Amino acid sequence: MPLQATSGAASYDAFGGGVPVVPAYIEEVFSCFLYTGTGASQTITNNIDLSTKGGMVWIKSRSAATNHNVFNTTQGANNLLHPNTTNATVNDTVSLTAFNTTGFTLGTGSQTGNQVNVSAATYASWTFRKQQKFFDIVTYTGNGANNREISHNLGSTPGFIIVKSTSNSTDWVTYHRSYTFPNWIRLNSSDTESTTYGDAWGAVPTSTTFTTGSGGFGDVNYSGRTYVAYLFAHNAGGFGLTGTDNVITCGAFTSDGSGNATVSLGYEPQWVLYKSTDTANSWALYDNMRGMPVGTTDRRLLVNTAGAEVGVSLNTIDPTATGFNIFNESTSANFIYIAIRRGPMKVPTSGTSVYKGYTYTATNVNDRVLTSASVSNADLVWQYNRTDGGVGAVDRLRGFTTELGLYDTGDDGAGAGYGIKSIVNTTVNLNLLGGAYTSWNAGTNSYAMQTFSRYPSFMDIVCYTGTGSNRTVSHNLTVVPELIICKCRSTSGAWEIYSSVLANTEYLVLNTTAAKATGATRWNSTTPTSSVFSLGTSANVNTSAATYVAYLFATCAGVSKVGSYTGTATTKQIDCGFTSSARFVLIKRTDSTGDWYVWDTARGIVSGNDPYMLLNATVAETTNTDYVDTYSAGFELSSTAPAAINASGGTYIFLAIA
C-alpha cells in the first residue's frame, strides 16, 4: 500500500476532485522576488500565501559566494537545506523566521553558511506554492523496502522530482521525465545522467505516486532516515480562466553543432533551469527579474555551487513569446529543463496596477534608488527629460540598460549604456556608472517617467528577428492588438505604428509629425489576431536577420482605451469607459501632420495648466497650456487646443490609461 503524502488535498482549494472550480494563475503560486539584505528582520511581500497553502522558498545571494538555502512549510521555518551541498537539515533561528499569507519574514540572516539577509548583500528568492498541477511537497521516513510507492497530491504525473534526506548527509537525487529510466542526476553536482550511485527509482511516477528503488540506497529510502520530496508538474493544464493553460514544463532539447537550440513551450517563460545530461555541466538557473534579456548578457546562478551571480559573457538564453532559444552551450549535447510561465495571467481591473507616472530631479548620484517610486514590476519605461527634451524607452525584455530614443532612428547600439541600472520589484535603481546613464540622472534636470507593466488585454512586448518575407509574429496580449509600435534594434530605422483605427495597409511614424501613410509592406495588409500580428517586407519592421522590438497595446475595460475621435474645435469629452479620469493620455493626428502629445497626472492634468511632452522631438516640456482636462469617464479636449489636437473635422488616435 502506498505511503500517504503528508500534504493534504485540502491545501488545494482551487480544485475539487481534479476539476477546477476557481481559476488559478501563475502569479498566485510562483514568485521571483529580489531584495537587498538589511541585517535586521524584514518581511518579503510577494503576494504568495505560504501560511495557509504551504510551499517552498529558495534563496540565493546574488552578490556573494554563499550557499543556496531552501525552506519549506512542511519542515517549518528555521529549518533549511543547501541544494549545493550534501548537508542534512540545518536549524537556524535567524534566517527565515515565518511563512506568511503574503510571503515570508527573514531574521538577521547572518548565521555562517546560511546567509539570507546580510546587510547590503543582494538576493534572489523563488517561492513555489503548493498547488495541484504545479508543485507539491511530500515528507516521509525511509523503511528500507524495495520499490516503495509514496503518494503525492500533485494532481498530475510529475515531470521533475527532487529527493533529499533531511536527517543525514546525502546527495540530492533528481528524476526527470526525459532521463533514460531509471537514471538520475545529482542536483548538487555537475554529473551526467547515470545509475552509477545507486538504484534511485523503482517505477515511472504516476498521477498519484512516485516509487523509490533499492531500499538500501540511502539517498531515497534508507530505513529510519527522514526525507523531503519536491514534485513539479509537466504541461498539466489547470490554470487560466478556463483551467486549461500550462504554467510549468519539464522537457528536453539537443543543442546543434554551434551549441544552439530552440524550445517551444506555448508560452513565454520567466524562470528556466537546465542541465546537460551527457556533458559534465552545472545546473544553470535564469529568470527575467535578475535578467535574461533578448540578445544581450544574461544573469546566471549555478545551483550546484555557492558561486555569486555572474553576467554570462556570451548570450545564452533568450525568451520568446512561445518558448526560449539557447545559444553558446555545449555542442551537440542533450539537456533537460524546467520552465515556468511568465505572469501575470489575470486581466487587470485597475489602471494603477499596470501604469505609474512620476517625476524626479537629477542628483548625479551613482546607484541612485528612487525610493518614492512604486512601479508595479515595470516592463516598459518611457523617460522624459523635461528640461532639455527627448524621450527614451527601455524595457525588461531587451534589458533596462539599453535605451531607444522615441524621437530618432538610432538602434540598440546607439543607446547601449543609457537607461536604468535595474528595476527590482517595485524600485527603480538609476546609475551614472562613470558617465553612462547620465541622460537619466544628469545635472539639475527635471525628469518624468511612465512605467507600464505587461498584462493580458493591456500591454505586451515582443522581440523578434526579421525574415525579409511576409510572416506572422506570436504575442501574448491574449486579445487583438489595437496599437503596435515597432522599432528595429540592430540597425537605424523609423518607429512604425499600426493602429486598428487605420486600414491595415496604413501606418504612422512615431519619430515624425507625418500624417498616416499607405504601405502594404508594413502589416502585409493583414489585421492582427489575438495570438499573432502580421508583417510585410519593409526594412523598418522585417528585414532579414535584423532584430526588432514591438510594444502592443489594447483596450482593457476600465483600465485602458485605444481609440479615435474627430475634432470639433470646441470643448469635447472623450468617453473611455473609465470610472475616474485618465491619468495618461497620448494623442496623434492622423489625417494631417501633428506631433505625438503626452499628458499625465504626475506632471499635472489640471484646469489652466496641462504640461505636455512630445514623443517625436527633443524639445523641453511645454507648460502653461490648457489643452486637456480631467473628465470622469476619460479626458476632455479644450476649445483652445491647436489643430494637432482638436481641429474641426480632423481625425485622431489616442491611448488613455485610467
| Cα 395 to Cα 35, 292, 341, 402, distances in angstroms | 20, 12, 19, 8
Q: Last residue of a domain, which of 296, 320, 341? A: 341
Q: Last residue of a domain, which of 503, 529, 553? A: 553
Least confident among 10-19, 72-81, 308-317: 10-19
Q: Which three cell numbers stand for residue 41?
A: 528582520
pLDDT at residue 436 is higher than 70: no
pLDDT at residue 16, as a whole number: 39
Least confident among 17-26, 149-158, 446-455: 17-26
**Band of pLDDT at residue 20, cut at 50, 70 and 90:** very low
pLDDT, tens digit (0-9, with 9 covering 90-100), for 579-629 = 999 999 999 999 999 999 999 999 999 878 899 999 999 999 999 999 999
Identify whether 55 is part of a domain.
yes
pLDDT at residue 636 is higher than 60: yes
pLDDT at residue 442, as a whole number: 79
Q: What is the mean pLDDT of residues 350-369?
A: 88
| Cα 21 to Cα 123, 239, 348, 547, distances in angstroms | 36, 11, 21, 43
Identify whether 3 is part of a domain.
no
pLDDT at residue 472 is higher than 80: yes
Q: Are residues 548 and 570 in the same domain?
A: no
Identify whether 11 is part of a domain.
no
Identify whether 223 is part of a domain.
yes
pLDDT at residue 12 is higher than 50: no
Q: What is the DSSP letter of 643?
A: H
Q: Are residues 228 and 253 in the same domain?
A: no
Q: What is the mean pLDDT of residues 339-348?
A: 98
Least confident among 248-252, 447-451, 464-468, 566-570: 447-451
How many angstroms separate the CA atoms of 474 and 162, rounded? 34
Number of structural domains in the chain? 6
Q: Are residues 495 and 405 in the same domain?
A: no
| Cα 70 to Cα 56, 355, 595, distances in angstroms | 7, 34, 54
Of 624, 637, 372, 644, which is closest to residue 513 (Cα–Cα)?
Answer: 644
pLDDT at residue 13 is higher than 50: no
**Of 211-220, 406-415, 468-477, highest mean pLDDT:** 468-477
- Mean pLDDT of all residues in the chain? 93
Q: Which three cell numbers stand for residue 525?
A: 495588409
Identify whether 242 is part of a domain.
no
Q: Are residues 417 and 477 in the same domain?
A: no
How many angstroms separate the CA atoms of 53 and 28, rounded? 11
Identify whether 380 is part of a domain.
yes
Identify whether 335 is part of a domain.
yes
Q: Are residues 312 and 358 in the same domain?
A: no
Strands 269-276 and 261-264: unpaired
118 contacts: CB under 8 Å, gap ≥ 6: 37, 39, 61, 64, 109, 110
How many angstroms separate the CA atoms of 577 and 598, rounded? 20
pLDDT, tens digit (0-9, with 9 covering 90-100), for 499-548 = 999 999 999 999 999 999 999 999 999 999 999 999 999 999 999 999 99
Of 624, 630, 617, which is closest to residue 585 (Cα–Cα)?
Answer: 630
CB 160 within 8 A of CB 174: yes
Residue 389 neighbours by CB distance under 10 Å: 15
Q: Which three cell numbers stand for residue 350?
A: 485597475
Identify whether 481 is part of a domain.
yes
In degrees and rounded to multiples of 5, residue 608 shows phi and psi of 100, -20
Q: What is the mean pLDDT of residues 1-14?
A: 41
Which domain covers residue 363, as residue numbers?
351-452
Q: Last residue of a domain, which of 197, 232, 267? A: 232
Least confident among 148-152, 363-367, 434-438, 548-552: 434-438
Q: Are residues 30 and 49 in the same domain?
A: yes
pLDDT at residue 441, as a whole number: 83
Percent of the chain clearing pLDDT 70 (strictly above): 94
Q: What is the DSSP letter of 348?
A: P
pLDDT at residue 421, as a whole number: 82
| Cα 101 to Cα 27, 46, 83, 104, 348, distances in angstroms | 14, 10, 25, 8, 21
What DSSP assignment string belongs to 144-191?
--SS-EEE---SS--SEEEEEESSS----EEEETTS-TT-BEETTS-P
How many angstroms separate the CA atoms of 275 and 27, rounded? 26
Residue 386 neighbours by CB distance under 10 Å: 20
Which long-range contacts (C-beta less than 8 Å, at least 24 apart) are formed by 429-437? 429/367, 429/368, 429/369, 429/370, 430/367, 430/368, 430/369, 430/370, 431/366, 431/367, 431/368, 432/364, 432/365, 432/366, 432/368, 433/366, 436/401, 437/401
pLDDT at residue 376, as a whole number: 63
| Cα 1 to Cα 5, 10, 149, 387, distances in angstroms | 12, 22, 7, 74
Q: Are residues 115 and 193 in the same domain?
A: no
pLDDT at residue 8 is higher than 60: no
pLDDT at residue 300 is higher than 70: yes
pLDDT, tens digit (0-9, with 9 covering 90-100), for 371-404 = 655 666 799 999 999 999 999 999 999 999 899 9
Q: Are residues 448 and 365 in the same domain?
A: yes
Place of cell 502653461: 624
Q: Are residues 125 and 145 in the same domain?
A: no
pLDDT at residue 423, as a whole number: 85
Q: What is the DSSP letter of 515?
A: P
How many angstroms separate the CA atoms of 420 and 400, rounded? 5
How many angstroms separate the CA atoms of 607 and 72, rounded? 55
